[in-house]
Structure 1
Amino acid sequence: MEYFPLFLNLKKKRILIIGGGEVAKRKVFLLLRSGALIQIIAKNICMDLNKLVLQKKIEWISTIFHEKYLKKVFLVISATNDNVLNSKISNLSTKNFLFVNIVDDKSKCSFIFPSIIDRNPVIISLTSSGYSPVLLKLIREKIESIIPFQIGKVVNFAKKWREKIKFYFKKTYLVRIFWEKVFNSIFLNQILIGQKERAFITFKDIIKKSKCQTGEIFIVGSGPGDPGLLTLRALQVIQQADIVLYDSLVGYQVLELARRDSKKFCVGKRYLGKHFSQKKINDLLIKFASKGNKVVRLKGGDPFIFGRGGEELEKIVSSKIPFQIIPGITAAVGIAAYTGIPLTHRKFSKGVIFIHGNDYDRNIFSFLKSKNIAYTIVIYMVKMNALNISNDLIKKKISLDIPVAIISQGTTSHQTVKISCIKNFPDFCSSIHTPILLIIGDVVNFYRKCNWFNLNMSNKIFKKNNSYFSLFYRS
C-alpha cells in the first residue's frame, strides 16, 4: 500500500495554499466544500479567487512565502511552477510536521489528492498512486454509474435512526443484520424515488420482523485458487459473513474479501498435519449459527465435489437452521481451463471421471477394459497414492504412451505443469508442491498448443505481487 487512505474533518481547519492560478483555484473550490479556512499566498491571484477574497470566503495573507506562515495551519498545498520554492515549502512543512502537497510533484508530497465521488455524506475516494490517471478515470466512471445520486438521503435516514436501533436491538451483530435487511429491501428504492411515507412503513415492518433473529449458514465454494473465479453470489455472501470457517486450500486473497470485523477460523484438514474432525466442524457451524450469526463455510473448489458439503448439509438440515448453498468452480474444471486441456472432446474423450487420491480404492479402475482410455481421468490430491495409482494402471495394461498432466497449485501465479506418462508421473508428484491435480488421457496433448496461463506467467505479464488475476477481478 503506497498511500494510506484517510478521511479528514477539515471544518474550520486552516489550509495554506501557495499559488493563485487555475490549479490553486481548483484546490480552493474543492476544499471550501469541506468547510476549511483557506489562506492564500501568491504574488497575483486569478479573478475567481479575487472574488472569493472580496466575499471574505478565503483570505489572501501575503504575496511572499515565509516559514512563519506555517504556524497554526493543518495542511499545506503548493500550486506554483517555481521548483526552488516548491522544494523549500516541502522541506519546511516536513520540518514542522505538516502534511504537504506539491502539485504535480509526488516526490515532494506527503499526501496526494484522490479522485472523489461525492454523494454527501457518502464519499468515495480513488487513487492510482499517481501512476495511471486514465485508468483511474475509467474506474471512476464505472463506480459513478452504479451509485445513485440520491444515496445520501438513505444515509441521512440511517443517521437519524442509528442510535434508536442500537438501543432497540442491543447486540451489535443484530444491529448489523437489521440494517442489511433494510438496505436489501424495497425500502432503499422507496427512499431513492422520494416515497418517504411508504419507506417508513417498510422500515417499521422490518423492525417488527427482525426482533427474533436466527442465524444462517452458507456453504460456499471458493473455486480452485484464483479469486477471479469466485461467483458473484459467493463474493456477496463472504462480505456479509460474521463467521468464516475456511479450509486450508482457501487462499488469503479470498479471505481478504471478508469484512475486517468478521471472525475467521481455519478448520482445514491437512494430510499428516493439523486435523479438524468433521464432527467438530459440524458442531462449530451449528454453535455459531445458533447464536444468530451469519456463518460461511468456505471450501476450496466446489462444496459437493470431494468437499464433504453433503455431510455438513445433513447436520445443518437436522438442526433446522436456515441455509444456502453457493456452488464453486471445482478444481478439475478450473485447472483444466487454465492449462488449455479440454476435459472432454468428441475425438478423444467421451466423458470425464473424478477420483480422490487420498481415498483411493485399488479396484477403482475396474471399468478400464482396453489399453486405450476412452475417458479423461482426473485425480484430486494425488501425491499420497501416486505410485499405487501408476502401478494399478500399468497392471490394467493401459498404454504407457497415454499422456499425463501433473498440475501443482493450479490457477494461481505459482501454477506448475509437468507432462509425463503413466509410468513416470509419480516422480514428478514427489518433487512439486501440493495441491496436485492429475489429468490422464489423450486430451492432455492439447496443453502444448493451447496452454495460455503459464505462457503469460512465464513472460511475467501482470505478475505483480503474485497477483495475475488482480487486474481482472475488480472489473
Structure 2
Amino acid sequence: MRYFPMFLDLRDRPVLIAGGGEQAAQKVRLILRVAPRIAVMAPELDDELAALAAEGRIRHVACVYDEAEVDRAVATFCASGCVGVDAWISARIRARGGVVNVVDKPRLCSAITPALVDRDPLVVAIGTEGVAPVMAQRVKTMAEGWLEPGLGAFLAEMARLRPVMAETALAPDPRRFWNWIMDGPRARAAGGDLAGAVAEVRAAIAAGAAPAVAADGRLTLIALPEAGMDLLPLRAVRRMQEADLVVHPPETPAEALELARRDAERLAVSALPAAEIAQRAARGQSVAALVPPAAWDAACAAAEGAGLSPERLFAGRAHPSHPDPAP
C-alpha cells in the first residue's frame, strides 16, 4: 500500500484549484461539499465556474500562477490542462511538504482523490493508487447498491443518541447493541420508516437491552480456503468482523487476519482450544476459528466434545463431514 488513506477536515481552510475548465469544475463540485473557502486560479473561467464566482461561492484568482495563493493553500488540486504549469505548482507544494493532487498525473501527486460513496456521515473512499479508476468505479457502484440512500439520515439520528447510550448499561454489551441497530432498526429505516426506527432504538435504550440480542456466545469454525481468501463466504467475513477472539494456526496468511476487527483478540495455536472457547462462549463472547483443511475434523470433534455446537462455514462447498453448505 503506497498511499495511506486519511480524511482531511477542510472546513474553513483555504483550498486552491488551479485551472478554469471542466476538470477544474469537477474538482470544485467535489470540494464545495466540505470546504467553502475555495480559490480558483486561472486567467479565465468556464461558464459554470464563472457563475459560482459571481455567486460568491468561489474566489477567482485571475492568473496562471500566484505564488502567495499556492503557499497559502492547505490543499491544492491542479487541473490547468498544462502539464508544465501543474508540474511547477506540484513541485513547489511538495517541496514544503504540502498536499497536492494533479488530475491524471499520479507521479506529480502527494495525495490522490478516491472514488466516493457519500452517505454523510458515512463516507466510503475507494482508491487504486491511480492505476485502475475503472475498477474503483465498479467497486463504488457495488457499494452504492449496498448502502441505501437514506443511510446517512439514519446514522445522523444514531449519532444524536450516542451520548444517551454512553450513559446506559446496554446488554449484553455496547458492540452487540450496535450490531442489533444495524441489523434491525436500520432495515426499518431503509424501508422508509425512519421515525419508527429511531423510536425502536430509543425504546431499547430505555430498556437497557436490544430485544433481538442474545447474551449467549458463539463459535464459528471457518475452513481456510486453499486457493485464496477471496473464496471465503460473506458470512465468514462477517463472523470474523464480529468476533471478540480469532483463533488461527500460526501459519495463517496475513490477508486472512486482516479481515478481523482491529481490536479483536488473536490466538495463534496449532489445535483448537475448545475448553477455553467454551468458557468464553459462556461469558457471551463470539469466537471465530480459522481451521486448515487437514485439521477440520479434529476441530469439529474438539468443539463438540466441549459441549459446543459451532457454526461451520466453508469456501464454496460443504466439507465432506458436514454436507450443509454455507451461504
The TM-score range, normalised by the shorter chain, is 0.7 to 0.9
CA contact (8 A) 2:250 2:270 kept: yes
SS class of match (2:44): coil
Aligned position for 2:250: 248
Aligned position for 1:295: 287
Shift of 1:282: 2.7
1:101 & 1:290 partners in 2: Cα distance?
Answer: 52
For residues 179-219 of structure 1, what are the alpha-carbon distances to aligned partners after superposition, in whole Å with 9 as ceiling and x for unaligned?
1012112x222212332453244324544344997341223
Pair 1:283 & 2:275 matched? yes
TM-score, scaled relative to structure 1 = 0.61
Q: Percent identity?
A: 23
1:300 & 1:139 partners in 2: Cα distance?
Answer: 30
Aligned position for 1:265: 267
User: Which of these two proteins has the greater Rg computed from alpha carbons?
Assistant: 1
1:228 & 1:30 partners in 2: Cα distance?
Answer: 33
Taking CA–CA contacts closer than 8 Å with sequence separation of 6 or more, which of the two structures ends up with the larger relative contact order?
Answer: 2
2:134 & 2:197 partners in 1: Cα distance?
Answer: 40
2:69 & 2:202 partners in 1: Cα distance?
Answer: 54
Aligned position for 1:313: 304
Q: How many residues align?
A: 317
1:2 & 1:116 partners in 2: Cα distance?
Answer: 19
For residues 68-93 of structure 1, what are the alpha-carbon distances to aligned partners after superposition, in whole Å with 9 as ceiling and x for unaligned?
22333210122112222222111111
Residues 452-467 of structure 1 aligned to structure 2 (within 5 Å): none
SS class of match (1:6): coil
2:202 & 2:278 partners in 1: Cα distance?
Answer: 30
Which amino acid letter does the alignment assign opposite residue 217 of structure 1? R
2:310 & 2:154 partners in 1: Cα distance?
Answer: 29
1:113 & 1:196 partners in 2: Cα distance?
Answer: 32
Distance 1:316-1:90 versus aligned 2 partners, 3 A rule: same
| Residue ranges of structure 2 left out of the alignment (5+ in a row) | 322-327
1:35 & 1:214 partners in 2: Cα distance?
Answer: 45
CA contact (8 A) 1:302 1:330 kept: no
Pair 1:35 & 2:35 matched? yes
Shift of 1:170: 7.3
CA contact (8 A) 2:248 2:289 kept: yes
Aligned position for 2:325: none
Which amino acid letter does the alignment assign opposite residue 123 of structure 1? V
| Residue ranges of structure 1 left out of the alignment (5+ in a row) | 270-277, 318-322, 335-351, 355-475
SS class of match (2:173): helix
CA contact (8 A) 1:153 1:192 kept: no
Shift of 1:234: 1.6
Residues 383-398 of structure 1 aligned to structure 2 (within 5 Å): none
2:234 & 2:155 partners in 1: Cα distance?
Answer: 25
Aligned position for 2:183: 184
Pair 1:237 & 2:232 matched? no
For residues 88-131 of structure 1, what are the alpha-carbon distances to aligned partners after superposition, in whole Å with 9 as ceiling and x for unaligned?
11111112221111222111111111111112222111122221
Q: 1:328 aligns with which of 309, 314, 322?
A: 314
Structure 1 vs Structure 2 CA RMSD: 2.8
2:187 & 2:315 partners in 1: Cα distance?
Answer: 33
CA contact (8 A) 1:249 1:300 kept: no
SS class of match (1:143): helix
